[in-house]
Amino acid sequence: MRININWKSALILICIVYTLLTIASSGYALLVGRTTETHFHLLARFAVTAIGIGSILMFNILPRWPLWAMFAIHYIATMGIIFGLLWVSGYFIELHPDAFRDIFLNFTPIYFLIAAGFLIRNKYRRKVNL
């Protein structure tokens, strides 16, 4: 499976996803009475979003394997990079004791939603082209 996404489309998707995540996170924080968010957290959210979306370009260099294998390799590589980013950031800021669990639980559902979106889009385009 090849995902036809170029750098410009990837940057636009990063901006859209980051904006939606930030609005959802800020809205939830305000609803539960939390009114502070660090600048580091905002930049880290952007980095994770950029890694997640930017890594979609990895699909273009993977061999044509079964779809499940490509998604598994892609998810493991992307999650590894994100865990690496979190580990390195631990040298500069104090991490929450559950930071690795939290990033896993925050990234994984968004990853699967975006992956499902690409699969649905791909399937729809195939039906239209037939």
How does pLDDT run across 86-117, given as a tens digit for each residue? 999 888 888 889 999 998 998 899 888 877 88
Q: What is the pLDDT of residues 115-126, one digit of tens each?
A: 788 778 767 776
Give the count of beta carbons closer than 10 Å to the beta carbon of residue 71: 19
User: How far is 93 from 109, CA to CA, in rounded Å?
Assistant: 26
Measured between alpha carbons, how far is residue 89 from residues 41, 84, 100 in Å?
11, 9, 12
- Name the DSSP class of 96: P
pLDDT at res. 3 = 60
33: left (phi over 0), alpha (psi -120 to 50) or beta: left
Which pairs with CB-CB distance under 8 Å and at least 24 residues apart come from 37-46?
A: 40/89, 40/93, 44/85, 44/89, 45/18, 45/21, 46/14, 46/18
48, 82 in Cβ contact below 8 A?
yes
pTM of the model: 0.65
Dihedral, 103, 87, 8, 24 alpha carbons, nearest 10: 30
